[in-house]
């Protein structure tokens, strides 16, 4: 089935492993030192290399960089009778894909070989992530080509040059601050400061001072006058993040700023003027808070002259092929890695998952996968169980008497059912266009159940 190279000076151990892997129909070559191992690898092009750490001459750890340099796509499993923390850490740092201690647990080694073969195949068959151009300044790019994201881009373009307040609402991780930064970036004062305040991070007294500043002696510890964020944001933009957390007292002061463009520092006797543009963001429904009496109605209408609703990631999954390479590119640069392939079953799991943490959750997941990935491909075993279980089950054994037409019909139906009849996701899995998918649905008279996503979604 696969070609395995074993490099170990223990002849008896080599022969035992050779017999074991031969019984599983693998092709096995043996080498008893690192130099012979490199020569054997050159001639046989193994799919997995199993190498001992302690060998006469060049050790396995010393030889590992040469193997990874000459055969970067080939997984290397290190084995040793001298199992210790430092050897394990060094082996993984040098690019080993796995580490097995002697005496070898044959079941553990089989699992390691199976994982290595799966990762290698995934690297060959997976989705190659094409680099995305790094648009925008300082990494503040918003990625997306879906209808929902295009509407947000249009809104940014329409409001950015106009001196209106903007309220950005959406769940955590959807990119509210990115939208605010881009409104500032393409607005009339892009060279002015962009200042963000997390309204939920400080108690009321500290938040008031942080926003409006304070005079010397205004409270215990105020040994000198300090400007607030509104003063710092002069000639620029101020973002009030989690604005729904403001106390009634600060809500009243913020309303005065929006109405009169002036405020009073804590302990001050003279008003200060501000020309900072105000953008607010909230992951709670401010209108509902108004109805419940927890937020001032007059302030709400002042804040949302223009309102932008950020979509949850699950509502624009068709942007995954753009989001993933962009995020991977950023993570690769940070980690000095070159992970560029996503296995097909990982993409299937991504499309089937609800992403409660939205784009931030996707980025954190990719960051963890790159950190734990020994090669250049992200495979299903690197994902947490709640996501990996979303991958489609293995294909059933097909009846050899089925026609190609029946096979196609069954597979298209299966993918549509898996995606809840979401055409955008189904097209990505099937590797086809939406018009082609529409024709297949009509050709095979496939019908969506009543509780599924509408079959026309995304068209």
Evaluate whether 77 touches 37 at the Cβ level (below 8 Å). Answer: no
Evaluate whether 52 touches 7 at the Cβ level (below 8 Å). Answer: yes
Q: Which CATH architecture has domain 317-388?
A: Orthogonal Bundle (1.10)
Evaluate whether 323 touches 362 at the Cβ level (below 8 Å). Answer: yes
Where are the CATH 3.40.50.300 domain residues in the chain?
Answer: 149-310
Parallel, antiparallel or unpaired: strands 3-7 and 48-52: parallel
| Other CB atoms within 10 A of residue 172 CB | 12
pLDDT given at position 222: 75
Alpha carbon dihedral 182, 183, 189, 190, in 10-degree steps, equals 10
Structure-block tokens of residue 290: 């108004």
DSSP state of 394: P
- Vertex 79 angle, CA 76 and 85, to 5°: 105
pLDDT given at position 116: 86
Q: Exposed, middle or buried: residue 77 (CB in 10 Å: 0-12, 13-18, 19+)? A: buried
* Strands lying side by side in the sheet with 166-169: 194-198, 237-241, 277-282, 166-169, 306-309
CATH of domain 3-125: 3.40.50.2300
Evaluate whether 296 touches 290 at the Cβ level (below 8 Å). Answer: yes
Alpha carbon dihedral 447, 318, 425, 341, in 10-degree steps, equals 170
Alpha carbon dihedral 140, 143, 147, 151, in 10-degree steps, equals 10
DSSP state of 295: S
Instruction: Please state whether the peptide bond connecting residue 93 to the residue before it is cis, i.e. omega within 30 degrees of 0.
Output: no
Where are the CATH 3.40.50.2300 domain residues in the chain?
Answer: 3-125
Answering whether pTM is above 0.75, one says: no
pLDDT, tens digit, for every residue of 146-172?
889 989 999 999 999 998 999 999 999
Q: How far is CA 396 from CA 220, 393, 399, in A?
A: 73, 9, 9
Evaluate whether 319 touches 144 at the Cβ level (below 8 Å). Answer: yes
Parallel, antiparallel or unpaired: strands 166-169 and 277-282: parallel
Question: Which among 394, 304, 307 has a CA at the least distance from the CA of 345?
Answer: 394
DSSP state of 135: -
Q: Report the distance separating Cα 166 and Cα 407, nearest Å.
A: 52
pLDDT given at position 395: 47
pLDDT one digit per residue (tens) for the chain, 459 residues: 789 999 999 999 999 999 999 998 999 999 999 999 999 999 999 999 999 998 999 999 999 999 999 998 899 999 988 767 788 888 888 889 889 988 888 999 998 998 888 777 766 655 565 555 444 444 578 888 888 998 999 999 999 999 899 999 999 999 999 999 999 999 999 999 999 999 998 888 889 999 998 888 777 777 788 899 999 999 999 999 999 999 999 999 999 999 999 998 888 888 899 999 999 999 999 999 999 999 999 999 999 999 999 999 999 988 888 899 889 988 999 998 888 888 888 888 898 899 999 999 999 999 999 999 887 888 888 999 889 887 655 544 455 566 777 777 888 888 887 777 888 878 877 777 888 888 889 888 888 876 554 444 444
Q: How far is CA 145 from CA 171, 221, 352, 454, 459, in A?
A: 20, 51, 19, 20, 13
Where are the CATH 1.10.10.60 domain residues in the chain?
Answer: 393-459
Evaluate whether 123 touches 342 at the Cβ level (below 8 Å). Answer: no
Helices (H) and strands (E) counted in the chain, each on its own, are: 19, 15
pLDDT given at position 15: 93
Name the residue with tokens 């199976």. Answer: 114
Evaluate whether 168 touches 308 at the Cβ level (below 8 Å). Answer: yes
pLDDT given at position 183: 94
pLDDT given at position 401: 61
Euclidean distance between the first and the last CA atom of the chain, given in angstroms as a whole number? 43
Alpha helices of 130-267 — where are they, by DSSP H?
147-159, 176-185, 204-212, 229-232, 248-260
- Vertex 60 angle, CA 59 and 62, to 5°: 65
Give the right CATH number for 149-310 from 3.10.180.10, 3.40.640.10, 3.40.50.300, 3.40.30.10. Answer: 3.40.50.300
pLDDT given at position 123: 63
pLDDT given at position 134: 46
Question: Which among 95, 107, 120 has a CA at the least distance from the CA of 4?
Answer: 120
Name the residue with tokens 């060094």. Answer: 90
The H or E element containing residue 168 is strand 166-169
Altogether, the residues listed in the chain come to a count of 459
pLDDT, tens digit, for every residue of 312-359?
999 998 888 889 988 998 899 999 888 888 888 888 889 889 999 999
- Vertex 120 angle, CA 326 and 47, to 5°: 150
Question: Which among 184, 90, 94, 197 has a CA at the least distance from the CA of 137?
Answer: 184
| Other CB atoms within 10 A of residue 126 CB | 21
pLDDT given at position 118: 78
CATH 3.90.1150.10 fits domain 393-459? no
Where are the CATH 1.10.8.60 domain residues in the chain?
Answer: 317-388
Alpha carbon dihedral 215, 220, 224, 226, in 10-degree steps, equals -50
pLDDT given at position 388: 86
């Amino acid at each position: 089935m696969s070609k395995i190279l074993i490099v170990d000076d223990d002849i008896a151990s080599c022969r035992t492993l050779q017999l074991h892997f031969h019984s599983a129909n693998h092709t096995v070559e043996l080498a008893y030192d690192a130099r012979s191992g490199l020569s054997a690898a050159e001639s046989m092009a193994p799919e997995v290399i199993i190498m001992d750490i302690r060998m006469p001459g060049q050790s396995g750890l010393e030889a590992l960089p040469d193997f990874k340099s000459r055969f970067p796509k080939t997984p290397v499993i290190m084995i040793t009778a001298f199992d210790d923390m430092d050897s394990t850490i060094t082996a993984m740092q040098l690019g080993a894909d796995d580490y097995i201690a002697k005496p070898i647990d044959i079941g553990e080694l089989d699992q390691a070989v199976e994982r290595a073969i799966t990762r290698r195949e995934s690297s060959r068959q997976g989705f190659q992530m094409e680099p995305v151009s790094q648009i925008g300044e300082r990494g503040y790019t918003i990625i997306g080509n879906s209808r929902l994201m295009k509407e947000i881009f249009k809104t940014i373009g329409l409001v950015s040059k106009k001196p209106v307040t903007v309220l950005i609402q959406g769940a955590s991780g959807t990119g509210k601050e990115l939208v605010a930064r881009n409104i500032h970036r393409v607005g009339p004062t892009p060279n002015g400061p962009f200042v963000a305040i997390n309204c939920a991070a400080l108690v009321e007294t500290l938040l008031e001072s942080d926003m409006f500043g304070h005079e010397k002696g205004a409270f215990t510890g105020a040994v000198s006058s300090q400007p607030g964020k509104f003063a710092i944001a002069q000639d620029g933009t101020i973002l009030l993040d989690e604005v729904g957390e403001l106390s009634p007292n600060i809500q009243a002061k913020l309303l005065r700023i929006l109405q009169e463009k002036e405020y009073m520092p804590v302990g001050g006797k003279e008003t200060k003027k501000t020309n900072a543009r105000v953008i607010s963001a909230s992951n709670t429904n401010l209108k509902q808070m108004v109805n419940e009496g927890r937020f001032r109605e007059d302030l709400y209408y002042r804040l949302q002259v223009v309102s932008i609703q950020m979509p949850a990631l699950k509502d624009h999954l068709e942007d995954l092929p753009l989001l993933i390479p962009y995020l991977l590119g950023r993570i690769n640069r940070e980690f000095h890695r070159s992970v560029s392939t996503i296995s097909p079953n990982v993409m299937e799991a991504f499309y089937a998952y609800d992403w409660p943490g939205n784009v931030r959750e996707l980025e954190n997941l990719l960051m963890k996968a790159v950190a734990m990935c020994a090669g250049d491909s992200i495979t299903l075993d690197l994902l947490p169980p709640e996501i990996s279980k979303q991958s489609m089950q293995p294909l059933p054994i097909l009846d050899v008497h089925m026609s190609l037409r029946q096979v196609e019909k069954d597979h298209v139906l299966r993918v549509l059912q898996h995606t809840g009849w979401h055409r955008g996701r189904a097209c990505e899995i099937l590797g086809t266009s939406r018009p082609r998918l529409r024709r297949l649905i009509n050709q095979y008279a496939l019908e969506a159940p009543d509780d599924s996503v509408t079959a026309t979604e995304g068209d």
